[in-house]
Structure 1
Amino acid sequence: MTSHDTEILRPLLEDWKSGVDAHDPEAVAAVFADDAIFQGLHPYSVGPDGVAAYYAAQPPGLGAAYEIRETRRLAEDVVLGYLSVEFTFTDGRAPLPVFLSVIARRAQDGWRLAHYQVSKLG
């Protein structure tokens, strides 16, 4: 894991987290590329509209805490990140720990998430 790769991912992940915590699906979707493959805990979608719909369906009060565990530079303009994430709820549900793999790709307007894959822990 290099600090440069982490510095690329961190602003994207902070914007994602801020949107999740604020229950702002459009802010979450803005982090994703137009052709992003998104796999949450429901059927996958492609593009920011699917991301926005997914997060609009999440309960208000959903929060996300993450830790970047590993990064890999796949190409000059592509970074893979592997994270542990804990989603929390204000409605009394137990926290949900998951693993998250993301791929960030540099575009003309900056870095965007091009792939998002959640894996639920045992």
Structure 2
Amino acid sequence: MTDPMREILARWKAAFDGHQADAMAALFTADALFQGFGPEVLSGRDAVRAYYAAVPGDRTADVTVVATYTVGDRVAGGFADVTFRDPAGWEAPVHLSLVLRRDEDAWRIRQYHVSRVVTAH
């Protein structure tokens, strides 16, 4: 079995870097819970699609998987460090945690949460 976390994050990065909101939404379960940079928890693919459609098209993401786990053959997840960037020099490092669920045909993101990394206290 491949590592579900690495598999889904490779697909996520390709869709994010390509600014493909429909492809991003397809990575999530229909009932996904999503906590991005905004103050509200979003729910469902349509909300995820709208969130990513609003991201500027010149942003990319660098992804480093930190830890992964599996629970049986239908649940997996883990943590990654992600830095979002744009060509003008803007960047936002975050910790990303995912809970994945295996549907009939593929792994999908059931829960997505980013936490901005702040180095100054």
Equivalent runs, 1:65-104 vs 2, <5 Å: 65-90=62-87, 92-104=88-100
For residue 55 of structure 1, give the secondary structure of its aligned residue in structure 2: helix
Is the aligned partner of 1:117 residue 2:113? Answer: yes
Q: TM-score, normalised by structure 2?
A: 0.89
Matches within 5 A, 1:49-60: 49-60=46-57
Deviations 1:38-71 (A, max 9, x none): 1101122111111110011111111011111011
Give the equivalent residue in structure 2 for 1:11.
7
**Aligned length, in residue pairs:** 117
- The CA deviation at 1:98 is 0.3
Q: Sequence identity, in percent?
A: 37
Provide the secondary structure at the position in 2 that maps to 1:58.
coil
Give the RMSD, CA atoms, in angstroms: 1.4
Q: Kindly report structure 1 stretches of 4+ aligned residues shifted beyond 4 Å.
A: none
Q: Which structure 1 residue ranges, 5 or more long, are not aligned?
A: none
- Gapped runs of 5+ residues in structure 2? none
